[in-house]
Structure 1
Amino acid sequence: MLLCGIINELEKTANSGQLSYFFCQGTNTDLDNATAVLRGLIYLLVDQQPCLTSYLQTKYDRAGKRLFEDENAFYALCDIFHAILRDSRLAAAYLVVDALDECDKNLQQLLEIIRDTASATHVPIKWIVSSRNRPDIEQQFTLDDSRMRLSLELNAEQVSRAIDLYIDYKVTRLKSIEHDEAMQDQVRSQMRQKAEGTFLWVALVFQELQKPVLSRDVLPLLEEIPPGLEPLYNRMMNQVEQYERSCRHVLAMVTLAHRPLHISELRALADASGTGELEKIINMCGSFITIRDAQIYLIHQSAKDYLTGNASPRVFPSGTKPVHRDLFLRSLRALSGTLKKDIYGLRNPGLLVHEVQPPNPDPLSAVRYSCVYWVDHLLEAHGQDSNQGKELPDNEEIHTFLKTHFTHWLESLSLLRKLPDGIVSCRRLLHAIQVRRTRGQLYSTC
């Protein structure tokens, strides 16, 4: 919320120069890595100052777009970023990165880039970054005359004032009490007492209050909701457990998925009979997950931390491995029921993949996630040291799938522009098999 406000203010200031920003999100694998941060910052810089496009074009002409997508993408983008910052045509710019603690991949390299470019006197940029308190991040940023640190804990009074304004605004949007000023004052008072300086708590409570409810029930409902984010999560979890088992199962799958699932992908994995049924199950998951543009997201990194931490015995009563195995098996079955030769009906094996237009409806839409991640869930379900035999568990299912659909799988990965991911998956699967065979031989020898 603070970073959004700062960005809005900078955008209003005509002489503030260029503005480029990125919001990390630990619950989305497309937004939790340093490569994505650099890609986003560079895109906005170039979009605002097209004369800098040449640095991207030179790299693109040499290696194509794969250079910006494979395992070398971070280093290619580093070179481009530094080249842009050295260009004398670059106007003064603010670079804003939110939630550094939610950047999981190449974080240290990203911190070094921020630290070094912030210290360079010849670079016309200023950095604004935010993070939860983490020593490894704080150690990279020593304070001097050119740097300032704002601690929300030490500025709790200002944060509380901002939350009070947010509460005032949200209260005026409650339909059930829009004509009852006395009730509005009571709701404001209770919300301010319980918020404890947390915007997210306020937002989640107002989601609850915005559901159809009689005006006389608003205050009793608000009194039931505990202060503090974790007690609120506990209450939400209690509500989830009142519903059928499928609700908890969906919550577990969304929590362990490697990226936000499209609703059609989750329907294929959850055995839901239709979109309406699945949306009903999602609504029963309380406010832990939400749907935006048909994509299913956990509401916040703190929700994922809670579900995999304190609430783990409730969400994963037998541990996470059975859920990974279920995701693997359901993925394999969905793929087996979908994949076939020339699935797009192209009838032209020599057609270049960038010339392919997916049909409507796209037969691969429901299995995109399964195509890319079934091997990941297999290995996370069984690991490489959890079984002493010569073969992976579920060997028969894997063998049947690869024997029948291996070339169909590769074709589909190619159509989805994910063939490099498939190659990595094949290597990981082969390595796991080799490790198990070696250990099996050792055990039989002993």
Structure 2
Amino acid sequence: MTEEDKTCIQHLRLTVPSDDKKRIENTKGDLLVDSCCWIFDNAEFRQWRDDEQSRLLWIKGDPGKGKTMLLCGIVNDLQKSKTDMNLLAYFFCQATDWRVNSAVAVLRGLMYLLVTWQPSLVSYIRKKYDLAGKALFEDTNSWIALTEIFTDILQGRNLKSTYLVIDALDECVTDLPQLLKLIAKQSSIRSCVKWIVSSRNRPGIEKTLEQVGYKVRLCLELNAESVSAAVSIFIEKKVSQLAQENRYDRQIQDTVKEHRMRTICSFG
């Protein structure tokens, strides 16, 4: 990689999605492993994973259903099975942070991870970057330019099998309709790219993603028993451990359980 390539990637970077994910996981501690394991036996997830034609998995649910937590667990699983023959990029939207709440930010984050895994992909970005410089990522036409670059990357002959994960589409507050249209279009035309997206139950999101022909929809309300059971097992185990270490009485144990449940629900 040349110095020019490195400078281009530095300017592309708005945030590092892998660091965002670590921050989320650190907030919840070791909750992920026990509370997300049910998804890997779920019929809809297995269909998306195993069926070549199922290119988009849409995980939807109301606030407090643990969507972000679930996607962290899925990303961890995909990372474990990652080889030199495939790519993984992900992005976690958050409405209150300008760095991660726009469609442009999503594309910048995804492309940043893609070029991290496969540096040769920076050549697609350099075609426009060499003419526009840093303004490519920041001016009023950034969405148009980045969409063209992103599309070229996904349709390139040398692209490896790729997984793209976007959490909390409903928290993308700038240009969400354009992002949804891009996801719908790209997930319908390229079989070597598989998508996972999550969102709250929003009519606008539903309307656009319903147009995708090769999708699988996983509704967390319909899997409430699996979600609740996995989380309850973890909390019981954790509180029991804390009770032994700190000699909690029953009242304190119940208070700790309630606190942990509220913590889980805050990451919906």
Pairing 1:48-87 to 2, within 5 Å after superposition: 48-87=117-156
Larger Rg: 1
Pairing 1:75-224 to 2, within 5 Å after superposition: 75-120=144-189, 122-142=190-210, 146-168=214-236, 170-171=238-239, 174=242, 178-180=245-247, 183=250, 187=253, 191=257, 201-203=262-264
The match for 1:6 among 47, 70, 74 is: 74
TM-score normalized by the length of structure 2: 0.66
What's the CA shift for 1:123? 4.6
SS class of match (1:150): strand
Listed as ranges, the gaps of 5+ residues in structure 1 are: 204-228, 230-298, 303-446
CA displacement, residues 244-294 of structure 1 (integer Å, 9 cap, x when unaligned): xxxxxxxxxxxxxxxxxxxxxxxxxxxxxxxxxxxxxxxxxxxxxxxxxxx
SS class of match (1:113): helix
- Once the two structures are aligned, what percentage of the paired residues are identical? 47
Output the amino acid matched with 1:180.
Answer: R
CA contact (8 A) 1:10 1:19 kept: yes
What's the CA shift for 1:137? 0.2
CA distance in structure 2 between the aligned counterparts of 1:39 and 1:67, rounded to whole angstroms: 11
Alignment pair present for 1:18 and 2:87: yes
CA contact (8 A) 2:93 2:171 kept: yes
Output the amino acid matched with 1:128.
Answer: I
Output the amino acid matched with 2:98.
Answer: T
SS class of match (1:96): strand
SS class of match (2:214): coil
CA contact (8 A) 1:100 1:130 kept: yes
CA contact (8 A) 2:102 2:173 kept: yes
CA contact (8 A) 1:117 1:123 kept: no
Partner of 1:396: none
Output the amino acid matched with 2:105.
Answer: A
Q: How many residues align?
A: 199
CA contact (8 A) 2:92 2:100 kept: yes
Alignment pair present for 1:29 and 2:95: no
CA distance in structure 1 between the aligned counterparts of 2:145 and 2:261, rounded to whole angstroms: 37
Output the amino acid matched with 2:86.
Answer: G
CA distance in structure 1 between the aligned counterparts of 2:86 and 2:240, rounded to whole angstroms: 36
CA contact (8 A) 1:34 1:105 kept: yes
CA displacement, residues 159-197 of structure 1 (integer Å, 9 cap, x when unaligned): 1123224424642674x762437749x826983xx68xx
Report the CA distance shift for 1:188/1:91 in structure 2 as closer, same or farther (over 3 A): farther
What's the CA shift for 1:135? 0.6
CA contact (8 A) 2:239 2:256 kept: no
CA RMSD of aligned residues (A): 2.9
SS class of match (2:183): helix
CA distance in structure 1 between the aligned counterparts of 2:105 and 2:218, rounded to whole angstroms: 25
SS class of match (1:90): coil
CA distance in structure 2 between the aligned counterparts of 1:99 and 1:200, rounded to whole angstroms: 20
CA displacement, residues 288-335 of structure 1 (integer Å, 9 cap, x when unaligned): xxxxxxxxxxx87x9xxxxxxxxxxxxxxxxxxxxxxxxxxxxxxxxx
TM-score normalized by the length of structure 1: 0.41
CA contact (8 A) 1:55 1:84 kept: yes
Partner of 2:64: none
Listed as ranges, the gaps of 5+ residues in structure 2 are: 1-68
CA contact (8 A) 2:188 2:212 kept: no
SS class of match (1:62): helix
CA distance in structure 2 between the aligned counterparts of 1:169 and 1:65, rounded to whole angstroms: 50
CA contact (8 A) 1:11 1:19 kept: yes
Query: Which structure carries more relative contact order (alpha carbon 8 Å, separation 6+)?
Result: 2
Output the amino acid matched with 2:226.
Answer: Q
What's the CA shift for 1:88? 0.8
CA distance in structure 1 between the aligned counterparts of 2:219 and 2:146, rounded to whole angstroms: 31
Partner of 1:293: none
CA distance in structure 2 between the aligned counterparts of 1:73 and 1:200, rounded to whole angstroms: 41
What's the CA shift for 1:200? 6.5
What's the CA shift for 1:58? 1.6
CA distance in structure 1 between the aligned counterparts of 2:72 and 2:235, rounded to whole angstroms: 17
